Amino acid sequence: MALVATGLSACEGAPLPGEGGDGGQDSAQTPGEGPARLVLNEGRGERDVTVDTLLDVQAESAVLERVTVSSPAGDVPGEVSVDGTQWVAGERLEPGAAYTVRAVGRDADGAAVRSVTRFRTQDLSLAEQTYASVAPLDGKTVGVGMPVVVSFDVPVTDRASMERQMRVESVPQQPGTWHWLSNTEAHWRPRRYW
C-alpha cells in the first residue's frame, strides 16, 4: 500500500489541462489539419507559477513521443497517453524552482515537432507550505483495519482542496474515503478491510 501525497502546499486552484498559453512552441504544418504543435499549460518565461499546478502537454495535429521536465529541485515524472495526444505530470511542482519542459513529437508526415518551455514557480516561505508525514510507510504490511494516516505540520484550512491532492494506491486498488480527526490529521479508510 502506498500513499501518494503530492503538492501539499497552502495554495489552491491548479489550472485545468490545456489552459495557460502556448509556451512558445515550435510548429510544423500538417496539410488540412493546421499547425502541428505541442502545447504546455504554462507559458514560456512565466514566473510565480503555483506549486499545485499539474503540468499538461497537449499534442495538436501531432503525436507526442516523450516529455521531460527537469529542475534543480528534481525531475517531474509523467505519462504519455496511449493515443499520444497528451502527457500529464505524475507529481506537482516544488516552490522557488526553475523548470525546463522538453517535448518531442511527430506530425502526420513524420516530421519532428519540438517544444522547449522554461518557467519558474512561486517562492514560498516555510509558513506558506506544509509537510506531511504518512503512516504506514510504502511497502509495509498492516492489519486489515489499519487506516492511512496523514499528519500535517500546520493546520489545514481547505480540507477539500488538500484531499484533491492526495490519493492512496494499493494492490489490489480499493475505494475509500478521507476522514479528518483534526485540522492536522486525516485518515483514509478503505470501503472494505484490506
The domain 126-190 is placed in CATH, from the list 2.40.240.10, 2.60.120.10, 2.60.40.10, 2.60.40.3710, at: 2.60.40.3710
CA–CA separation, 188 and 5 (whole Å):
12
Taking the C-alpha atoms of residue 18 and residue 181, their distance in angstroms, rounded to an integer, is: 36
pLDDT digit string (tens) for 9-29? Answer: 333 333 333 333 444 444 333
8 Å CB contact between 66 and 104: yes
- Please confirm whether the linkage preceding 172 is cis (ω < 30° from 0): yes
Per-residue pLDDT tens digits for 54-113:
999 999 999 999 999 999 989 999 999 999 999 999 988 889 999 999 999 999 999 999
Query: What is the number of alpha carbons within 13 Å of residue 111 lying toward its C-beta?
Result: 12
pLDDT of residue 127: 66
Identical topology for domains 27-120 and 126-190:
yes
Q: Rounded mean pLDDT of the chain?
A: 81
pLDDT at 52: 81
Query: Which pLDDT does position 26 carry in this prediction?
Result: 40
Position 50 scores a pLDDT of 87
Domain ranges of the chain: 27-120, 126-190
CATH of domain 27-120: 2.60.40.3780
Q: Give pTM, 2 decimals.
A: 0.58
What pLDDT does 20 receive? 38
Question: What's the pLDDT score for residue 43?
Answer: 83
- Write down the pLDDT at residue 149: 93
Sheet holding 148-152, edge to edge: 132-135, 148-152, 185-190, 176-182
Here the cell at position 173 is 486498488
Q: What is the pLDDT of residue 83?
A: 95
pLDDT at 1: 39
**Given strand 62-70, what is the order of strands in its sheet?**
62-70, 98-107, 112-120
119-173 pLDDT tens trace: 999 887 766 666 788 898 887 888 888 899 999 888 888 899 888 888 888 888 8
Which residues neighbour 137 within 8 Å (Cβ) at sequence distance 6 or greater? Answer: none
CB 97 within 8 A of CB 73: yes
Which amino acid, one-letter code, is at 184? T
pLDDT at 59: 96
pLDDT of residue 58: 96
Cα 8 to Cα 94, 102, 103, 117, distances in angstroms = 10, 25, 26, 25
User: Which pLDDT belongs to residue 32?
Assistant: 35
